[in-house]
Amino acid sequence: QTKLKPAVEIMATSTDKKSSFYRSVFWDKNTKLNMVDQPKLPGKFEIITCKTVEEVARCIKTMVVRGAPAIGAAGSYGMYLAVQESKFDSSKDLVEALKKAKTLLDAARPTAVNLSWATKRIVSHAEDSVQMPVDKLCDEILAEAERICNEDVEINKRLGKFGADLIHGGTKEKPTNLLHHCNTGRLATVDYGTALGIIYTLQEQGKNIHVYVDETRPRLQGARLTAWELQQAGIPQHLIVDSASGFLMRKGMIDVCVFGADRVTANGDVANKIGTYNLSVVAKENKVKVYCACPTSTIDLSLKSGDEIEIEERGADEVTGLSIDSTGGSIAPKGVPVCNFAFDMTPAKYIDAIVTEEMVCYPPYEKSLAMAVDLAHKRRASASKNN
């Protein structure tokens, strides 16, 4: 299998010179926006290049890049691609072009809030800087996209430490067994990860852990991506079918469930990869702790509950075929009707804690999530002043 090469070899702005991994999303002044082509994994490790905002939107839609933080990062660079080579009479015209690009990008994956969060941040920054000459403002858009990416890595590492403090590392004789759903690691973020970032932190702390990896149908992000990431990191694991998780919990084989989020509403409801709700309900039945890990950029305080979240529905081919890139054989009768929701919504009552980069949030989530978002805003404002 391909070993991911050091990020510093391909991205001069890398903040982690000890990293053994590419960033999943990175910018190069010659090749433009580069992303790990995730549908090719684990068979091949390839980089795909985007030079237009339309190409970025297509890659987000087809899940070449996936994971809420990663598509937010890709979207921010997509905003720059939308304006970098166009001619504008004024900076106000450039801002209007950014707004059109935001509409295009946001529509690519409506459930994950990080995408619209990142594009909104780019537009807001451009509006605040509209007094700049056009060429300077265009450069500033790229700089803001790079800040979003670099911040993601720092955020994930802070989040990982908060989450690791919640989880005991087992004993020499028996590890702590974690169940992980979907993929939330280096491939789903710019680098390091959210729920998998907690697992990486546990490993760095020398704690004795073992991970059960949900295959995560229908696109098999667990089997294809998480299992591959954990192999790269040398973390003990077993891959299981999604429907085995309840039985493993009943047998006492699972200590903690961890997963990420694509959107968290003000009351703590979590939209995440389909299967998260089932997992959380069964965990509560078996008295297994459930931790959701997400950056504050995934928290949407404008929505009161998960019932207000738009849940994306994807194509039938993901369910009827064994392959996620349409090159494999069918496993279902031709023409069978398919219902394929990409995400589900887990009510807050099934979540023991939501781990962010600012704090561990506990019920009542209306207060703790708002506090975490406020702390994040203050941290970013302080960083901006210092810069």
- pLDDT value of position 329: 66
Active site residues: 262
DSSP, collapsed to helix, strand or coil, labels residue 254 as coil
128-164: string of b/e by CB count within 10 Å (b at 16+)? Answer: eeeeeebeebbebbbebbbbbbbbbbbbbbbbbebbb
- pLDDT value of position 6: 33
- pLDDT value of position 29: 82
User: Which pTM value belongs to this model?
Assistant: 0.91
- Give the β-pairing of 360-361 and 353-355: antiparallel
- pLDDT value of position 170: 87
Q: Residue 20 and residue 336: Cα distance in Å, rounded? A: 44
Both tokens of 381, joined, read 């404002």
- pLDDT value of position 30: 82
DSSP, collapsed to helix, strand or coil, labels residue 27 as strand
- pLDDT value of position 323: 63
Segments in the chain below pLDDT 70: 1-21, 323-329, 387
Cα→Cα distances 146→82, 135, 214, 355, Å: 16, 17, 33, 24
CA 123, 293, 220 angle in degrees (round to 5)? 95
Kindly calculate the radius of gyration of the chain based on its CA atoms and give it in whole angstroms.
Answer: 20
DSSP, collapsed to helix, strand or coil, labels residue 43 as coil
Cα→Cα distances 258→31, 168, 272, 352, 353, Å: 36, 14, 12, 10, 10
- Strand locations in 42-103, DSSP E? 47-50
Sign of the CA dihedral running 178, 184, 187, 192:
negative
Asked if residues 258 and 291 have their Cβ atoms less than 8 Å apart, the reply is yes
pLDDT digits (tens, 9 = 90+) for 284-300: 999 999 999 999 999 99
Both tokens of 122, joined, read 């780019």
